[in-house]
């Protein structure tokens, strides 16, 4: 991962990584390769992620981890189990988070979570071709998909704490970012 390959337990808050991550192996993510437990708050990854199997824009695979107010904006490219936010879910909880990048893979791909079902609340993802307006959108595994233009509307992000955690969106221009 761009921040750490493996994280076990503990809490990481207010952190980010902007570099691209590339590997010929699996368990690759923009922020973590593997997150085994613990909590990550208000953190993000903006670089592209390239790997083989179990690839995610924010985390490759989780194991009972909690992600709150996180986002990934880079593209994700791999072979199998490729997700815009997380590749493989292992009992993870994801809340008020989103992903923006394009997702390219041969099998088991999803705009948000490629394999397994996260316990999720109020998560959103860019989905090419989704023409359904907020708040309905296009359901994804663990998130609601929106077109790029709808991802740039503050009203799309039901449950996000604008003012305390997230900066207000300039409708039609920006995506949410942290305070």
Per-residue pLDDT tens over the stretch 141-167: 899 999 999 999 999 999 999 999 999
pLDDT band at 117 (very low <50, low <70, confident <90, very high): confident
Any residues with CB less than 8 A from the CB of 78 and at least 6 apart, and which?
26, 28, 49, 50, 51, 52, 53, 54, 55, 87, 104, 105
CB atoms within 10 A of CB 162: 13
Cα 150 to Cα 157: distance, rounded to the nearest angstrom: 10
Strand partners, 93: 66, 119
Q: Which of 66-70, 77-81, 125-129, 161-165 has the lowest mean pLDDT?
A: 125-129
Q: Is 41 within 8 Å of 14 (Cβ atoms)?
A: yes
* Angstrom distances, CA of residue 25 to CA of 29, 76, 115: 11, 14, 18
Model's pTM, two decimal places? Answer: 0.96
């Amino acid at each position: 991962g761009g921040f750490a390959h493996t994280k076990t337990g503990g809490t990481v808050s207010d952190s980010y990584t902007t570099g691209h991550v590339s590997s010929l192996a699996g368990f690759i993510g923009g922020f973590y390769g593997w997150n085994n437990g613990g909590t990550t708050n208000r953190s993000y990854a903006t670089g592209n992620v390239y790997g083989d199997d179990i690839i995610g824009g924010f985390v490759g695979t989780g194991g009972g981890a909690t992600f709150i107010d996180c986002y990934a904006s880079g593209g994700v490219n791999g072979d199998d189990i490729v997700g815009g936010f997380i590749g493989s879910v292992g009992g993870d909880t994801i809340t008020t988070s989103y992903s923006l990048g394009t997702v390219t893979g041969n099998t088991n791909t999803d705009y948000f979570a490629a394999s397994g079902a996260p316990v999720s609340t109020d998560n959103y993802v860019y989905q090419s071709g989704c023409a359904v307006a907020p708040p309905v959108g296009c359901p994804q595994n663990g998130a609601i998909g929106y077109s790029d233009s709808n991802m740039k509307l503050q009203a799309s992000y039901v449950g996000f704490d604008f003012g305390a955690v997230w900066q207000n969106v300039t409708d039609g221009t920006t995506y949410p970012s942290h305070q």
